[in-house]
């Protein structure tokens, strides 16, 4: 529950008054805002970018998403996200993922999102995951007086889109579970109903994948907000492909000569896999953003 010595010295040298806001341990700037019960629009988060010319620190509200295309256009450089080990080397007195926005203190050129010029109060991570530094808006702008100011961030549309798409998908999965639980009877009507429902699941899965994996999708936002979670994101994307393949396989099997009971068993296993995937996705979103989108 301290701030990095480099940050503390930088604030002291510029005689900037500040206070510390201690909160429960968190892993992202957005989660820190929630833990500290402060407006996420007023929390400045930092994203380290690099190219062959060196590093740049992008600073934007925790509530928004960095738009790399805008950054590249503004600076005329092919910047991309830095690797975690490189970030740690640049900020040796900070915990992993707790990068302060005062790039000048660490010798880094800084790009500031214009929206932060409008804040009366600003909070930012000072080097650990349990403390936010609180300064007045004017003082914050003084600290970043040499930063380039531009519109580099956008609202985060992916979260709500992901929520809608996943609920549509899991409504269809529940309908499929009810369909296979119905009496088989002669098998003909049961197979038709199961087949139609499984087709709807496959289409909903396709929409879910498009929403979550697209350029503005939630999985891209997670990687930008919390790069350390890229393996979990990669795992979810692999599961998307596997679930899609399994839906296609079962759609071919439903009208085949296979017994209805064996088809029921295989589709039940698919429903279970969807349920596990739902929980993993919810856990990942919570880890990245501190937002509970529901796993049950």
| Domain range list for the chain | 5-155, 158-289
pLDDT higher than 60, residue 290: no
- At 293, the pLDDT band (50, 70, 90 cuts) reads low
- Residue 76 is encoded by which pair of tokens? 């005329």
b vs e for 41-63, b when ≥16 Cβ sit within 10 Å of the residue's Cβ? Answer: bbbbbbbbbbeeeebbbbbbbbb
Taking 90 as the threshold, does the pLDDT of residue 176 lie above it? Answer: yes
The predicted pLDDT at position 42 comes to 93
Higher pLDDT, 84 or 290: 84
Q: What angle do CA 229, 273, 167 make, to 5 degrees?
A: 75
Percent pLDDT > 90 in the chain is: 66
Is pLDDT at 294 greater than 60 in this prediction?
no
Does the domain formed by 5-155 have CATH 3.90.960.10? yes
Instruction: Give the tens place of pLDDT for each residue, 94-130.
Output: 998 889 999 999 999 999 999 999 899 999 999 998 9
Q: How does DSSP assign the chain, residue by residue?
A: ----HHHHHHHHHTT---EEEE-S--SSHHHHHHHHT--GGGEEEEEEEEETTEEEEEEEETTEEE-HHHHHHHHTS--EEPPHHHHHHHSTTS-TT---S-GGGGT--EEEEGGGGG-SEEEEE-SSSSEEEEEEHHHHHHHTTTSEEE--EEE--HHHHHHHHHHHHHHHHHHHHHHHHS--TTSHHHHHHHHHHHHHHHHHHHHHHHHHHSTTSHHHHHHHH-GGGHHHHHHHHHHHHHHHHHHHHHHHHTTSSS-HHHHHHHHHHHHHHHHHHHHHHHHHHHHHHS------
- The pTM score is 0.60
Fold of 158-289: 1.20.120
Per-residue pLDDT of 44-79, as tens digits, reads: 999 999 999 999 999 999 888 788 889 999 999 999
């Amino acid at each position: 529950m301290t701030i990095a010595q480099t940050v503390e010295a930088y604030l002291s040298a510029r005689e900037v008054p500040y206070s510390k806001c201690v909160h429960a341990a968190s892993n992202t700037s957005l989660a820190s805002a929630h833990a500290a019960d402060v407006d996420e629009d007023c929390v400045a988060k930092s994203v380290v970018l690099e190219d062959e010319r060196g590093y740049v620190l992008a600073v934007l509200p925790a509530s928004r998403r960095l738009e790399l295309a805008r950054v590249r256009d503004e600076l005329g450089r092919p910047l991309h996200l830095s690797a975690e080990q490189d970030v740690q080397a640049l900020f040796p007195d900070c915990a992993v993922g707790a990068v302060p926005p005062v790039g000048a203190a660490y010798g880094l050129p800084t790009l500031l999102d214009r929206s932060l010029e409008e804040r009366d109060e600003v909070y930012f991570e000072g080097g650990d995951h349990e403390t936010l530094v609180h300064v007045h808006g004017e003082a914050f702008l003084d600290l970043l007086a040499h930063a380039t100011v531009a519109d580099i961030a956008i609202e985060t549309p992916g979260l709500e889109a992901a929520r809608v798409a996943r609920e549509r998908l899991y409504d269809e999965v529940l309908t499929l579970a009810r369909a296979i639980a119905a009496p088989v009877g002669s098998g003909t009507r049961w197979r038709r109903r199961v087949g139609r429902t499984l087709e709807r699941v496959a289409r909903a899965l396709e929409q879910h994948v498009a929403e979550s994996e697209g350029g503005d999708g939630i999985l891209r936002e997670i990687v930008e907000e919390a790069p350390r979670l890229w393996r979990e994101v990669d795992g979810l994307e692999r599961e998307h492909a596997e679930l899609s393949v399994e839906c296609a396989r079962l759609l071919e099997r439903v009208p085949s000569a296979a017994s209805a009971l064996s088809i029921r068993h295989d589709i039940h296993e698919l429903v279970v896999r969807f349920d596990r995937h739902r929980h993993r996705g919810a856990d990942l979103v919570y880890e990245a953003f501190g937002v509970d989108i529901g796993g049950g």
